[in-house]
Amino acid sequence: MGNLAEQPKQQPALAELDYLLQRYRQVRATSEVICAPLQIEDYVIQSMPDVSPPKWHLAHVSWFFEAFLLKPYLSGYKPLNAAYDHLFNSYYETHGTPFPRAKRGLISRPGVEDVYRFRQHIDRAMGELLVNPPQQHAGEIMRRVELGLQHEQQHQELLLMDIKHILAQNPLHPVYRDDLRPTPALHNDRIRWHDYAGGVRHIGHAGSGFAFDCEMPRHRQFIEDFQLADRPVSNREYLSFIADGGYARSELWLSDGWAHIQQCGWHSPLYWQRQEDSWHEMTLGGLRPLDLEAPVCHVSFFEADAYARWAGARLPREAEWEVAAMDQPQRGNFLENDHLQPVAANTPHEGPAQLFGDVWEWTADAYRPYPGFRPLEGSLGEYNGKFMSGQMVLRGGCCATPEAHIRATYRNFFQPSMRWQFAGLRLAREL
């Protein structure tokens, strides 16, 4: 949820509105570029309950603008289809009754063309609203548009996650884009450790710029002296864990994790396949030989935690990760780099590498509210706060995250068994 409550209330200038309209068009176009390589059948598949069909993503992010901007603020606005308010509401119970998430793949109608028509309807209306917003609501409109754009950027990453999972179910190993080329192989040095002094530190978002409500308020937190690895764990290193019986040694696993891998039969990260004497992985560029030096990806919190224990280390705490990242340049392998796959770090490097981009990094902390956290009133308050149970925090963004969407204070969250997101790990240990 965005930092809507703390933004100034002055009326926006015409230049600000014009910039926001241009940004709106750019973000909206990116979602459609992501979907352009899909065949029509790809748009409608729901490969598991946590995956949404690409068609649904395109409609839902449009619904968001309709529900929270066009209906309350554009005089005379008429929905293209009133039923879409039910079909494409994700989880806003205070707004209405959402269509069940696990059944989104059953919505064959409206068709893909109808969904794109819905997007065009929304875009025309949003253009009208931003060209001439009602002045008494102009500031709030700008804040909600920014939230809607950040929301759509989240779904751009989700689109790529879900498309990858959908295509990976097909034994023909279909390619999402055949112009995605493997990066040149780089050799990783052994992990180096960076020392950080403990003490009372401040974490959380402060100052200007957008942030979700779960990143606030900024607050004090005591940390002990610690060390952080200079890069994420690589595929080569994770293979050593597998070769040493990592998935068969109960002493390495949390109880829930051990029960989960037994039930699911996990023996390697998601999308890895053993072919003859070598490992391959399914990527958005098709089935490829495993890049041994790239960060390991598509591991659950349970797997990350077990690996860290095997390596004689642990996962970083959320505050530790943020302390290490706050002074580092926000450079990395993001959506705009167009690899759509984690790549090995360039060596040598000063300070921890790849804190931003490539893979989301699991932390040791549960997703809970910061001291003094308050969600906004109304339906928009459901954006983050209601999920602060049973989830673990990830940090740093990934190869499918838009670069402008990430920052050192950003808190992503997933349930500990989930691994279809671009998630990896970095080691930490006590000093």
Beta strands 423-424 and 360-366 are parallel
Mean pLDDT of 198-227: 94
For 421, which DSSP code?
A: S
Nearest to 297 by CA among 345, 249, 362: 362
Per-residue model confidence as pLDDT tens digits over 150-192:
999 999 999 999 999 999 999 999 999 999 987 776 777 889 9
User: What is the structure's pLDDT at 190?
Assistant: 87
At residue 407, what is the residue type? R
The H-or-E segment that residue 399 falls in is none
Q: Which pLDDT band holds residue 4 (cuts at 50, 70, 90)?
A: very low
Query: Cβ atoms within 10 A of the Cβ of 338, count?
Result: 13
For 81, which DSSP code?
A: -
Q: What is the CA 97 to chain-centroid distance, rounded?
A: 25
CATH number of 14-168: 1.20.120
User: What is the structure's pLDDT at 276?
Assistant: 86
- H helix intervals, 66-170: 71-73, 84-87, 112-131, 138-168
Per-residue model confidence as pLDDT tens digits over 38-96:
999 999 999 999 999 999 999 999 999 999 999 999 999 999 999 999 999 988 877 87
Burial of 117 (0-12, 13-18, 19+ CB in 10 A): middle
Residues 187, 192, 195: CA angle, nearest 5 degrees: 155
Q: Which pLDDT band holds residue 246 (cuts at 50, 70, 90)?
A: very high
Percent of the chain with pLDDT over 90: 83
User: What is the structure's pLDDT at 8?
Assistant: 44
Per the CB < 8 A criterion, the answer to whether 99 and 40 are in contact is no
d(CA 137, CA 144): 11
Q: Which pLDDT band holds residue 12 (cuts at 50, 70, 90)?
A: low
Beta strands 219-223 and 199-203 are antiparallel
User: What is the structure's pLDDT at 405?
Assistant: 96
**Sheet strands side by side (includes 412-414):** 412-414, 392-395, 360-366, 423-424
Q: What is the CA 26 to chain-centroid distance, rounded?
A: 19
Mean pLDDT of 234-240: 97
Per-residue model confidence as pLDDT tens digits over 336-392:
999 999 999 876 667 899 999 999 999 999 999 999 998 877 667 666 778 889 999
d(CA 341, CA 359): 9
d(CA 57, CA 44): 10
pTM exceeds 0.85 for this model: yes
Mean pLDDT of 387-403: 96
Per-residue model confidence as pLDDT tens digits over 109-161:
999 999 999 999 999 999 999 999 999 999 999 999 999 999 999 999 999 99
Mean pLDDT of 200-220: 92
Q: Which pLDDT band holds residue 270 (cuts at 50, 70, 90)?
A: very high
Q: Provide the terminal-to-terminal Cα distance of the chain, rounded to the nearest Å.
A: 36
User: What is the structure's pLDDT at 387?
Assistant: 83
At residue 190, what is the residue type? R
d(CA 29, CA 116): 12
CATH superfamily to which 193-430 belongs: paralog of FGE (formylglycine-generating enzyme) (3.90.1580.10)
Higher confidence at residue 183 or residue 425? 425
Domain boundaries, the chain: 14-168, 193-430
